[in-house]
Amino acid sequence: MKRIFLGLVLLVVALGAAMAAALYTTQQRPFKGYTGDEAFVDIAPGSSTPAMARSLADAGVVQNPPAFRIAVWRRGAGRRLQAGEYRFDAPMTPGEVVDKIARGDVYLRPVTFREGLTMRQMAAIFEERGFGTAGEFLTAAAREQSIRDIDPTAPDLEGYLFPDTYTLPRRTTADQLVERMVGRFEKALTPEIRAKAAARGLSVRQLVTLASLVEKETAKAEERPLVAAVYANRIKIGMGLQCDPTVIYALERAGRYTGNLTRADLQFDSPYNTYRYAGLPPGPIAAPGQASLAAAAEPADVPYLYFVSRNDGSHVFATTLDEHNRNVQEWQVKYFRERRQRQ
């Protein structure tokens, strides 16, 4: 009996040693059990360590649940593990997996909306980046309730979706993204900007509308207050704004824009057409950035009423029509005539 008992003890010790060796090897050896190039594991808030271990093992990220649980124990990381979706694209040891989750290194994808985009253009980017359909984005952007407190007359969120780069989880919905974009807009519309706009008699909607015109006309920081001044000066004397981007926006809304603006287009009947209707259009024509909002709230103190493109992204400004006509002759007529001659 003693021999049998001793044999059993030795067997248990041997099995324990073998198991310990196996566990040690598992802890030291990088593992990749999924067949594709990458695997995603979504760890829900409040998940227990055993639940995480099962999810990771099922996804082929760790060899088995004990491997992960032991690594958590060895690192004392039980209270530091964070929820979120994680992307794995290379063999990793259980310890490396634990460290990744403890850091909260969740998988996020960037999506960039530059200044001056319309809701439809943003919707196309949302779809191109694979977050959902353009229709879902436009449906979310039609819910104007989120900005009712600052613009009670808004029919949608045109102009109020702040242009920026957003880093998003893969399963971010259009509603979630739109909510973040509106939140960023509200932060960009600082109390100082709102106070300056109010001092000039501008509602938030008028401010954002003017800022959207500025955004579409120039990308140069130093020119934004000058462009804002031109439009503010024209509004003050009852002069038409004659802003080409408003006509383009009107044509796009009607599905009639071909990519070229013609003289006939300038007569298109739309309240957004500032060649036909004086004053600001009824709402924003694009998403302005913070610099354009600031310029619209505080235009430069200049007498300019006109500006024309230098064809390099900059503009030349004028106070009188005669001066403007000379600028047009120099920077448009003469410029394009000489360009054609060189071709």
SS (H, E, C) 9-71: HHHHHHHHHHHHHHHHHHHHCCECCCCCCCEEEEECCCCCHHHHHHHHHHCCCCCCHHHHHHH
DSSP 95-160: HHHHHHHHHT----EEEE--TT--HHHHHHHHHHTTSS-HHHHHHHHT-GGGGTTT-TT-SS-TTT
| Partners of 110 in beta bridges | 167
Host domain of residue 136: 109-188
In a domain, 249, yes or no: no
* Residue at a domain's end among 36, 68, 103: 103
pLDDT for 3? 62
The C-alpha atoms of residue 109 and residue 124 are separated, in whole angstroms, by: 16
In a domain, 334, yes or no: no
Give the residue-averaged pLDDT of 50-73: 95
* Residue at a domain's end among 188, 213, 242: 188
pLDDT for 340? 75
Which helix H or strand E contains 287, and what residues bound it? none
pLDDT for 320? 97
* Residue at a domain's end among 87, 103, 119: 103
In a domain, 117, yes or no: yes
In a domain, 308, yes or no: no
pLDDT for 335? 72
Give the residue-averaged pLDDT of 45-61: 95
In degrees, to the nearest 5, what angle opens at C-alpha 229 toward C-alphas 225 and 231? 120
Give the residue-averaged pLDDT of 20-29: 67
What's the gap between Cα 36 and its chain centre? 30
The C-alpha atoms of residue 187 and residue 54 are separated, in whole angstroms, by: 42
* 52 and 74 assigned to the same domain: yes
pLDDT for 341? 74
pLDDT for 164? 97
**Confidence band of 11 (pLDDT split at 50, 70, 90):** low
pLDDT for 24? 60
In a domain, 59, yes or no: yes
In a domain, 322, yes or no: no
* 96 and 126 assigned to the same domain: no
Q: Is residue 92 predicted with pLDDT exceeding 90?
A: yes
Q: Which two tokens stand for residue 217?
A: 């006309």
Give the residue-averaged pLDDT of 267-279: 96
**Per-chain mean pLDDT for the chain:** 92
Neighbours of 216 (CB within 10 A): 23
pLDDT for 45? 93
Place of tokens 């000066």: 233
Give the residue-averaged pLDDT of 74-83: 92
* 82 and 132 assigned to the same domain: no
pLDDT for 1? 62
pLDDT tens digit string along 192-236? 999 999 999 999 999 999 999 999 999 999 999 999 999 999 999
* 116 and 181 assigned to the same domain: yes
Q: Is residue 6 predicted with pLDDT exceeding 70?
A: no
Percent of the chain with pLDDT over 90: 86
In a domain, 313, yes or no: no
Phi and psi for 200 in degrees, rounded to 5? -95, 5
pLDDT for 342? 73
Give the residue-averaged pLDDT of 296-323: 96
In a domain, 122, yes or no: yes
Give the residue-averaged pLDDT of 240-262: 95
pLDDT tens digit string along 105-164? 999 999 999 999 999 999 999 999 999 999 999 999 999 999 999 999 999 999 999 999
Give the residue-averaged pLDDT of 291-320: 96
Please, which residues have CB within 8 angstroms of residue 266's CB and are 6 or more apart in sequence?
247, 273, 275, 276
* 141 and 77 assigned to the same domain: no
* 72 and 113 assigned to the same domain: no
* 49 and 94 assigned to the same domain: yes
pLDDT for 15? 56
Q: How many folded domains does the chain comprise?
A: 2
**Confidence band of 324 (pLDDT split at 50, 70, 90):** very high
Residue 39: give its domain's CATH number: 3.30.1490.480
Widest CA span in the chain: 118
Q: Which contacts qualify for 100-106: CB closer than 8 Å, 24 or more apart?
A: 101/43, 101/52, 101/77, 102/75, 102/77, 106/82, 106/169
Q: Is residue 9 predicted with pLDDT exceeding 70?
A: no
**Confidence band of 290 (pLDDT split at 50, 70, 90):** very high
Q: Which contacts qualify for 41-45: CB closer than 8 Å, 24 or more apart?
A: 41/85, 41/86, 41/88, 42/84, 42/85, 42/86, 43/81, 43/82, 43/83, 43/84, 43/85, 43/86, 43/101, 44/83, 45/83
* 62 and 82 assigned to the same domain: yes
